[in-house]
Structure 1
Amino acid sequence: MTANDHLDYFKPQLVVIPCGSRKLGSPARAADIYVGSYHRACRKAADALRPDRLLILSARHGLLDLDDVIEPYDTPHGAADAVTGRVLLEQATMRDIVGLDPVVALGGARHISLVRSVWPHIHTPLAGTHGMGEQMARLAAIREGRDYI
């Protein structure tokens, strides 16, 4: 399967990508505040899938639109004050996006687990990878339309 197969036969209504621990030092749009290489790779792969909508899953804020302005924070997924699946479901319900399908989630296991709490039917192109190197390679393949399975 290639990313082009996805583009030709599978246009996601929504792609959810992870936030990142590396951030700018001042308030910024969600599209700009996360500066780490993993977040950026997820963003480029998501853009290549041409979704109807792209959201960032912030460990502190939950679902963010690209234009949402936030302050820098230091909350990793899984921390006591991190967003929960229940909060995500409430946010998705308020945004009237719970019924979207297909939904793609790019990210690691914690990220996928949270997204799955709202959209149990998500597509996870990074599933089966072993470590960050394989994930980055698969994200590059998705971005470039090359085989990744």
Structure 2
Amino acid sequence: MFQLTPQGARALDQNDNGVVSGHPATMAKLVVDGMVVPHAGDGGTHWMTEQGWSALEEWRQRHGRTPDALPAEPILPRLPGVQHEAVVTAAGRPDQRVPGRDDHDVYWAGQKWFRAPTLRAVQAAGYATTYGRSISLHLTPAGRMYARQRGGIDVRRRRLVITACGHEKKPHPGFNDYGNTNAGYPAGELYTGLYHRSLRLAADALTDPSLIRIMSALHGLVDLKRPLLPYDVTIDDERAITPERIADHAAGLGTHDADVIFLGGQDYAALLRPAIPHLHTPLSGGMGEHRGLCRRAREDPALREAWWAAAAALHEGHAAR
């Protein structure tokens, strides 16, 4: 698969019998990537290579539209070295998080993370922001644009999947010698029913685990790693999660800047939709039909992409209002 930015795709698409011209930064990136070679007769133009032709055709097939149909993006100035690296690093992560010391999975694994002055700088530049009450930084649309232009990464909105929880759960973990409850289970392991497992398997095929949340009737939108004890609550109970808390959780996830698919019943979807108006709910019918659709989604990449295309269209339609 070729990594071609929209600017590069537009330049290649506007070729004149294989002769390509464009912004110097765009052309320099295309040369480095082997898409074009300098035209000996004119320093401002280039010849498209076989790799360039193949990359352009692949770009059209993936995006379903010609590059010149896209609105032009302004060429963004290059950030200083470490700030540039921070934005490009975030663009390479499914969750688009700019890793800092608070990103414990990265920090304790000894992977690349960035200090507070760098994080403040990319936030001040408008390339990263916080969601809700979170202190973590994630790329903004401008940050993704920068990564496409300056990092050659075809990064788009995050793809979030929310699944319904399930009635069947692991047993209570018991008590220790001091009478205290033992630790609970990670949310991703708590629910044991066949229906929930079918939803989770489809979610795993649709997106990265860091972008999956479980809609718990008691706890709201929970990360797969969050420890939970078994509970017996439905969304109709007095103890159930409230719409106000769901809205708070959705804000903390940055659902306004993500394509979102929900896998579950319409009662849960109705609770989510006020907070996530562009929510795509591809499952219909009863639980049996839901499991069948989830199985098809696991096996058919084209169906998964069709679901994501529908989710993207809902996001763009809501944003245009």
SS state of the match for residue 161, structure 2? strand
The AA in structure 2 aligned to 1:136 is R
Q: Which string of whole-angstrom CA distances, capped at 9 and with x for unpartnered residues, describes residues 3-53 of structure 1?
A: xxxxx6698521000111000112200010000111110001011112461
**Pairs within 5 Å for 1:1-149:** 13-25=159-171, 26=173, 27-51=184-208, 53-93=211-251, 95-126=252-283, 129-145=284-300
Compute the displacement of 1:78 (Å).
1.9
Per-residue deviation, 1:137: 0.6
Q: Is the 8 A contact 2:215 2:222 kept in 1?
A: yes
- Name the aligned partner's letter for residue 90 of structure 1: D
SS in 2 for 1:104: strand
- 2:158 and 2:271 map into 1 onto residues whose CA distance is 18
Q: Residue 111 of structure 1: CA displacement?
A: 1.3
What residue identity is the alignment partner of 1:18?
Answer: A
Unaligned runs of 5+ in 1: 1-7
CA distance in 2, matches of 1:40, 1:139: 10
Q: CA deviation at 1:62?
A: 0.5
The 10-residue stretch of structure 1 (64-73 or 131-140) with the greater mean CA deviation from structure 2: 131-140
Name the larger-Rg structure.
2
Displacement of 1:99 after TM fit?
1.7
**SS in structure 2 opposite 1:46?**
helix
Q: Counterpart of 1:118 in 2: which secondary structure?
A: coil
Aligned-residue CA RMSD (Å): 2.2
Aligned 8 A contact 1:105 1:123 in 2: yes
| Structure 2: tracts of 5 or more residues without a match | 1-61, 64-155, 174-183, 307-321
Residue type at the aligned position of 2:166: G
Q: Which segment is superposed worse, 76-85 or 100-109? A: 76-85
Larger RCO (CA under 8 A, 6+ residues apart): 1
Structure 1 window deviating more from structure 2 (83-92 vs 54-63): it is 83-92
Q: TM-score, normalised by structure 2?
A: 0.40
Q: 1:141 to 1:96 in 2, by over 3 A?
A: closer
Structure 2 Cα separation of the partners of residues 54 and 96 of structure 1: 11
Number of residue-to-residue matches in the alignment:
139
CA 1:87–1:34 in 2, change beyond 3 Å: closer, same or farther?
same
Task: Compute the TM-score of the two structures, normalised by the length of structure 1.
Answer: 0.83
Deviation at 1:98, TM superposition (A): 3.4
Identity across matched positions, percent = 35
